Chains A and B, each alone.
Chain A
């Protein structure tokens, strides 16, 4: 051990997988959640695809659950800020993969990257009206 508080350093040249290639921006800016209401053109198409991704445990779109905090499109790259309902979510990789694949399925988007953000904290208040309706139909009690 080199000192009292050093963990052996990882190989500095190691390539991180897509989810460890973290962006350092962890706090979503602007109002959350984002739902793409005012989106037009290509951006609108990306939102339409994001709406098709459902939570693995409930038949509700991740956009209606309020999990998407932001979407930016630049030179064919979609950058999506997203949070999860639960820190221990075992489906994390699966959801992130689905979201990236959905965004990349749009003609004109070559690459999509999801940035996991944890602030502001997600709560059921962020679920959209449509989302609440779907959750009620699913049998959950939502005010």
Chain B
């Protein structure tokens, strides 16, 4: 391994500070993927073609799978699925506010642009985790990268086609203007723990470096398609990473956990209990 930092070892070997930093990296990964998936499901029956219904459903399932991989890694540190998702206060989540915004009916351009901005960021972030000093993070990146490639291809191909139509172009441009500041929140820090994440080699690139890389790639591709990119924008507020969210997230979390609550659950039931075999 080419990293100069020492391998952090097993989850049980982490010092308190190391664990805090590992958790801070894992929470944003898990929460981003979960909430992105929850929002994608809106389009499963509303996308403009049967093929895109399928594509969006697949993307949502992929993101849920990735969320599960990251939440699994968090559970190795002593958490449970119910405490992480179903019994968590909505303000405990640290996803970027980009992924929690609701869609307006009919605004397919929003879904395409959002997917594109998110997936470019995702690709850059995963590359910065490939050589993580924390094995449970490092070992999950391959699997996820393989499944993410298709998401980007899907988004790019829609953007290319939409750029050829005047009405569609206008809607794409409106979505870029609206979503770009929210996408910038992906690269906002969660707090002072951010410097530990870099110092320990949990992630090998800084948020600033990743944001610059992202901005360049997004700008270059979208400009090529004839769109204007508001590159001098500040990140939107609230940013999400600092646990401050829009009201839209509170409603979504309410909806997401409603069955769990209505049934009076206190555990996230598994398909089969150990004792049932």
CB-contacts of B19-63 with A (<8 A): 20, 23-24, 27, 61-62
B83 touches A118 (CB 8 A): no
B143 touches A24 (CB 8 A): no
The docked-state distance in angstroms from the alpha carbon of A8 to that of B82 is: 11
In the complex, B79 has a CB within 8 A of chain A: yes
Pick the contact of B191 from A3, A18, A117, A121 — CB < 8 Å?
A3
The docked-state distance in angstroms from the alpha carbon of A11 to that of B143 is: 30
Please report the total number of B residues contacting A with Cβ < 8 Å: 51
> Which of chain A's residues has its CB closest to B37's CB?
A88
CB-contacts of B88-138 with A (<8 A): 88-89, 91-92, 94, 135-136, 138
> Which of chain A's residues has its CB closest to B145's CB?
A121
In the complex, A86 has a CB within 8 A of chain B: yes
In the complex, B263 has a CB within 8 A of chain A: no
B273 touches A7 (CB 8 A): no
**Known interface pairs A4-B242, A5-B27, A5-B94. Does A12 touch B139 (Cβ–Cβ under 8 Å)?**
no
The docked-state distance in angstroms from the alpha carbon of A119 to that of B79 is: 23
Stretch of B66-74, B153-161, B173-181, B209-217 that contacts chain A:
B66-74
What chain B residues lie within 8 Å of A27 (beta carbons)? 135, 139
In the complex, B235 has a CB within 8 A of chain A: no
In the complex, B271 has a CB within 8 A of chain A: yes
A7 touches B143 (CB 8 A): no
**Known interface pairs A5-B191, A24-B10, A120-B142. Does A97 touch B272 (Cβ–Cβ under 8 Å)?**
yes
B143 touches A94 (CB 8 A): no
Point out residues on A near B: beta carbons under 8 Å: 1, 3-12, 14, 16-20, 22, 24, 26-27, 86-90, 93-94, 97, 100-101, 116-123
Point out residues on B near A: beta carbons under 8 Å: 10-12, 20, 23-24, 27, 61-62, 64-66, 68-69, 72, 74-76, 78-81, 83-84, 87-89, 91-92, 94, 135-136, 138-140, 142-144, 146-147, 190-191, 193, 242-243, 270-274, 277
